[in-house]
Structure 1
Amino acid sequence: MQPATVDSPVAAGVRRVVKIHGRGDTAVRALDHVTLDFPAQRFTSVLGPSGSGKSTLMHCLAGLDTVDAGSVRIGRTELTGLPDSALTRLRRDHVGFVFQSFNLLPTMTAEENILLGLRLAGRKPDPAWLRVVVDALGLRQRLRHHPGELSGGQQQRVACARALIGRPQVVFADEPTGNLDSRAGAEVLGFLRASVRELGQTVVMVTHDPVAASYTDHGVLLADGRVAAHVPRPTADSVLAALTGLGV
């Protein structure tokens, strides 16, 4: 089965997506006819209170979860209806992930963790691009260290390098600063922003933090599984005001 394609100038998008968790009386509509586009080479934040659907949206966009109705695409590829094998290839070749918990393998060095995805896919790293990513993240002197020898901020920078090394169409970051102190968090957010502005990357970040959202180009607020507001060129104050307007 070949992936369907659609004409699309965006890096990722959803159309009238519905996602329901549970059945019967316990069913929860996590996403309720959500339509959104995430432009290429932009840094977008997705915010909202607990239970708003922001993490569910990211999982559906990334092909980690299926939808009950609507369509999802990465670039020109329609995810809806793709078999598991095709979804696995798409995530491997076109999507990068940065998680709150870093998800590094403790027995591998920083460099081995960065290159793991490429090696599992049978792809050789581009040495020039590896140098660009490593130097941009300040990891040159840490490549032979294991995760246990690195600070939390350094581990998350390794995770960012791993997400970028394959030059994905889009990077999804799920609360990437949630386990970091304010200084380390600012360093990671600064790099994610630089990866968009200087390296041409596309980043979609789920966060609850107005300060983190202020690093992005555009903020999207969800509430009760629906798009509640857009915050262009967000600042911490404008995001906080928008969240307060939702009663958060």
Structure 2
Amino acid sequence: MTTVASEHSEQAGPGTMAAVAAVDLVKVYGAGDTAVRALDGVTVGFERAQFTAIMGPSGSGKSTLMHCLAGLDKATSGRALLGGTDLTAQPDRVLTRVRRERIGFVFQSFNLLPQLTAEQNIMLPLDLAGRRAERGLLQHLTGTLGLTGRLNHRPAELSGGQQQRVAVARALITRPEVVFADEPTGNLDSRSGAEVLLFLRNSVRELGQTIVMVTHDPNAAAYADRVVLLADGRVAGDLAHPNQDMIAAALRDLAVVR
């Protein structure tokens, strides 16, 4: 079994250091004989200004955990904490506001509005929240992501890599407490994927951003500061400062144990 990294057991545990945390989180789909226990008492915290990857076999609960922590799905029991806010105790109208104002999202499928330009897609979360743009931040994001000359183009006029970079800028433009990235390189070629991952990592270093990424790709996870491993709805391991070899070995161990 993968060894839990001791230096993270205190720093990233649920508490004051965690940007987002699960406490004894349970998620059950269905009822009776057909019930599926996707999360089985998960307790884990994600430290501020850190890039964490969540990995595990298919059906391990990694996407369910992210959805509950992001307020996209309701847990059956336990707590999902964003800072001091227990998302499991909030009504839908509050969750909508929290997702808009405090959380950023990057999805595998980009989720850009086709009728809007790249700049309009980036600015959409601020427009919905009635907030002014930080022009310096917009210029930094679009310049660093190589989008300066593409801001007036619509998604259909952009490559897949460019569309995902627009999605990353959109996720960061509100300076959210945490960005959740769900297989952000799944639809990209290796070069475009590496560019997106490098920018996500640099956003932690340069902007103090907190990133939580779900991925099945050890190469993508190696960009993270930490990897949390799930199996059968439970935390099964925790790797600090991972590399591809460490991650591949940990995944092999999970497969053997299961």
Give the TM-score of the pair, scaled to structure 2: 0.92
**Which of 62, 65, 76 in structure 2 is aligned with 1:57?**
65
Q: CA RMSD in A?
A: 1.1
Q: 1:3: which partner in 2?
A: none
**1:46 matched residue in structure 2:** 54
Instruction: Please point out which of 101, 114, 129 is paired with 2:122.
Output: 114
Deviations, residues 102-151 of structure 1 (Å, cap 9, x unaligned):
00011110000000111011111111111111112111111011111111
Distance in 1 separating the partners of 2:58 and 2:213? 15
Specify the SS of the correspondent of 2:28: strand
Paired amino acid for 2:96: T
Render the CA deviation track for 1:6-45: whole Å, top value 9, x for unaligned. 9622110010000001111110100000000000000000
**80-89 or 33-42: bigger deviation:** 80-89
- Identity among equivalent pairs (%): 63
Q: CA deviation at 1:77?
A: 1.2
Question: Is 1:182–2:204 an aligned residue pair?
Answer: no
Amino acid at match of 1:78: D
User: Which of 196, 205, 214 pairs up with 1:197?
Assistant: 205
Query: Partner letter of residue 182 of structure 1?
Result: S
Select between 133-142 and 98-107 the one with higher mean Cα deviation.
Answer: 133-142
Within 5 Å, give how 1:148-163 maps onto structure 2: 148-163=156-171
What SS does structure 2 have at the residue aligned with 1:66? coil
Could you tell me how far 1:47 is from its partner in structure 2? 0.2
Secondary structure of the 1:231 match is strand
Matches within 5 A, 1:75-224: 75-224=83-232
CA distance, structure 1, for counterparts of residue 178 and residue 97 of structure 2: 14
In structure 2, relative to structure 1, the CA distance for the partners of 1:34 and 1:116 (3 Å cut) is: same
Instruction: Measure, in 1, the Cα distance between the counterparts of 2:166 and 2:101.
Output: 19
TM-score by length of 1: 0.96
Cα distance in 2 for partners of 1:167, 1:136 equals 16
How many residues align? The count is 243
Moved more, 122-131 or 168-177: 122-131
Partners of 2:83 and 2:165 lie apart in 1 by: 26
Query: Quick one: which amino acid aligns to residue 150 of structure 1?
Result: L
Instruction: Please state whether the residue corresponding to 2:207 is helix, strand or coil.
Output: coil
Q: CA deviation at 1:220?
A: 0.5
Q: Which residue of 2 aligns with 1:37?
A: 45
| Structure 2 spans left out of the alignment, 5+ residues | 1-13
Letter in structure 1 aligned against 2:176 = P
Aligned to 1:234: 242
Rounded to whole Å, the distance in 2 between the matches of 1:227 and 1:214 is 19
| Secondary structure at the counterpart of residue 88 of structure 2 | coil
Of stretches 121-130 and 172-181 in structure 1, the one that deviates more from structure 2 is 121-130
